[in-house]
Amino acid sequence: MPFFANLSAFAAAYLPRVEQTMRAALASPQLAAGSHYAMMRYHLGWLDEEFRPTQAPMGKGIRPLLCLLGCAAVGGDPATALPAAAALELLHNFSLVHDDVEDNSATRRHRPTVWALWGQPQAINVGDALFVYAFRSLLDLAPAAPAAQVMDAMQRFVQACVALTEGQHLDMGFETRLDVTTDDYLLMIRGKTAALLAASVEIGASLGGGEPEQLAACRRFGEALGLAFQIQDDVLGIWGDERLTGKSAASDILTRKKSLPVLHALNGPQGAALRELYARPRLTVAEAPLVLDLLATAGARPYAASLVEMYSASALQALDDARLTSPAGDLLRDLALQLLNRQA
């Protein structure tokens, strides 16, 4: 692998190649179904609502970067892991399309969601297609990678898919419950968020020829990183700077999202008052400060911050345990620190 001075240089070199791999995977083979593929490309930010070429703001490319850096960190060539990196990003976007339907979210990344434009049935179908193309991209690892390596990556990928859907099931079930505990929540995000981050770095390290002990450490790193990442996201969803996060600081409260800070307060001494508010059919903007006061009294923000710190330390320790001697190991650490210290 060429030397990269920093994470930005690595991302600038490889993320466009991930996008190229994804674009190739989604090339429309059927003219009659062209709008089907156009809807997928719209969601990915490549087309506008009229299906004209554009380059809308996209995600951070966290999962592809974890995969490619995981491969390079154990001494592999990250280029060989590009089909897996693309597959992981396609899988992530499948989950976002379906998540928007399940959450009734009309916007994502400052644009209308697929279902908001073309209806829920079409959005479900778009998500299903992205799921299938994720697997198709993963199969493109062959013939460059040995069959056993491809099957290993496929097994880890499938495990992440199962965990993701289990986590989403739990998350949707929480919406109508007021007896959810913080342990329930941690189990949910272990599946919904952490499993895919863990699989990303683990699959990359596997494709790079990592030793079993390194793969296990990489998995622990990705899982702990995912837990810290999601809890940090919960904190930003309530107390983040709207100018940086791009959404109202009250939105998570108004939708009565069962995030970790809220669950800590619901299960604490102030729980009765908060449960009364969250049992109402809806919360108003005027009631949001009442919720914030109850969260402050319960020490919800420091509690969440303490868990972010704990899981962050676990992630970095796992990275040390992986004994990564390649310079890419340092870039993997830089990526983790960037995610854990983000403000948006």
3-state secondary structure of 47: strand
* CA 324/CA 330 separation, integer angstroms: 8
What is the per-residue DSSP string for 83-149?
Answer: HHHHHHHHHHHHHHHHHHHHHT--EETTEE-HHHHH-HHHHHHHHHHHHHHHHHHHHTTTTTS-HHH
8 A C-beta contact, residue 153 and residue 199:
no
Q: Which residue has the tokens 């107390």?
A: 239
**What global pTM score does this model have?**
0.94
8 A C-beta contact, residue 108 and residue 100:
yes
CA-atom Rg of the chain in angstroms? 20
What is the per-residue DSSP string for 254-294?
Answer: HTT---HHHHHHHTSTTHHHHHHHHTSS---GGGHHHHHHH
Number of H helices, E strands in the chain: 17, 2
- pLDDT recorded at residue 88: 98
Report which secondary-structure segment, H or E, holds 309.
helix 300-321
**Domain extents for the chain?**
7-340
* CA 305/CA 317 separation, integer angstroms: 18
Q: What average pLDDT values come out for the chain (344 residues) when binned by 10 residues?
A: 83 96 83 84 95 88 98 96 98 96 88 96 98 95 91 97 96 90 97 98 97 97 98 92 66 87 92 91 89 95 97 97 94 95 80
- pLDDT recorded at residue 325: 87
Count of CB atoms situated within 10 Å of the CB of 199: 31
- pLDDT recorded at residue 241: 78
* CA 233/CA 35 separation, integer angstroms: 34
CA 267-198-240 angle, 5° bins: 50
- pLDDT recorded at residue 248: 61
* CA 50/CA 47 separation, integer angstroms: 8
Burial 12-21 (b: 16+ CB within 10 A, else e): eebbebbbeb
Total residue length of the chain = 344
What backbone phi and psi angles, to 5 degrees, belong to 312?
-65, -45
- pLDDT recorded at residue 280: 86
What backbone phi and psi angles, to 5 degrees, belong to 108?
-150, 130
3-state secondary structure of 209: coil
- pLDDT recorded at residue 302: 97
* CA 57/CA 59 separation, integer angstroms: 7
- pLDDT recorded at residue 191: 97
3-state secondary structure of 7: helix
8 A C-beta contact, residue 326 and residue 74:
yes
> Domain 7-340, what fold?
Farnesyl Diphosphate Synthase (1.10.600)
- pLDDT recorded at residue 318: 98
| Alpha carbon 336 to chain centroid, angstroms | 13
3-state secondary structure of 53: strand
